[in-house]
Amino acid sequence: MTETLLDVKGMNCPLPVLKANRLLRGMAPGRRLRVLATDRAAVGDFQAFCRETGHALLAYSEEAGVFSFVIRRRADDPDKKG
């Protein structure tokens, strides 16, 4: 499955989560977003963001000071009235 890549290295809280949220809103349900960040606070921020929004944090890792997060967009948008 292909992923969309968002590189927010060098940006500090709350910008990585805000930029990821904006991008996820435009993605189709079930699509994956990989975020690359250097802000150590992003680990807790993305965990809380996914818990609160219903997106799935599939994986995260750290290598040489760069954090990688894989997020799957939630299946439906609870903000939209159907």
Q: Is residue 81 part of a domain?
A: no
* Segment 50-79, tens digit of pLDDT: 999 999 999 999 999 999 999 999 997 555
Q: Is residue 23 part of a domain?
A: yes
pTM for the model: 0.90
Q: Is residue 62 part of a domain?
A: yes
> What was the pLDDT predicted at 2?
83
Alpha-helical runs (H) found in the chain: 15-25, 42-53
Which residue spans within the chain are E strands per DSSP?
3-7, 32-37, 56-63, 66-72
Instruction: Please state the domain count of the chain.
Output: 1
> What was the pLDDT predicted at 1?
61
* Segment 13-37, tens digit of pLDDT: 999 999 999 999 999 999 999 999 9
**Which are the catalytic amino acids?**
13
Quote the domain boundaries for residue 29: 3-72
Q: Is residue 82 part of a domain?
A: no
For residue 65, the domain's CATH number is: 3.30.110.40
